Amino acid sequence: MIEIVDASGTVKGVAARSEVHGNPTLLHRVVHVLIFNNKGELLLQKRSMNKDVAPGKWDTSVGGHVDPGEDIKEAANREMQEELGIKDAETVLLYNYFFRNDYESELVSTFSCVFDGKITFEKDEIDEVRFYDLKEISENIGTGLLSDNFELEIKNYAYAATISDRSFPGSKDIFMDLEVKPDIQPVFDDPAGKQ
């Protein structure tokens, strides 16, 4: 089951995952985690070819649904452990934004962390993981290597880094050439009041 929320993140009910996916009128919460190493490189995961959305594409380090009753930081930490075997890494909320397409509507809360330890990924969900230099990521936007969802995420990250006084891992200058104007403006707080 997945919680259905309004634009402020207030829970309005629950629905089965099968009802939520395929019905963009049902807004639900998800978390993303951008995992950087100490060199400022960003971990990406290559989605399994068995996935129905963006098979074989490089995607956000970690992403998943928020369970009913779970706060977003707990969800981010749980997803990191489930997908990559990462425990006890300190996550920091960067921003929230809305993602909508013909398939679904999500209230995304994006966290970051720095991690240089061992990664053990879920082989049913992920074909490969690798750290990318941010310049290499920016050069591959629009080439088909990256998932559409991740391209929006990294554009939001770049935009947020240029307008925020918060500390964003990596170099803000790398993305300056993109003329980034994302479709969705990040919101720099937790709409549900749960960090």
* pTM attached to this predicted model: 0.85
- 194 and 8 in contact (C-beta within 8 Å)? no
pLDDT value at position 192?
Answer: 43
Pick the CATH number of 2-178 from 1.10.540.10, 3.90.79.10, 3.40.50.150, 1.25.40.10: 3.90.79.10
> Which amino acid would we find at residue 40?
G
d(CA 112, CA 133): 16
pLDDT value at position 82?
Answer: 94
Range with lowest mean pLDDT among 26-35, 111-120, 159-168: 159-168
Where do runs of H (alpha helix) occur along 91-147? Answer: 134-140
pLDDT value at position 21?
Answer: 87
Where do runs of H (alpha helix) occur along the chain? Answer: 17-20, 72-84, 134-140, 148-163
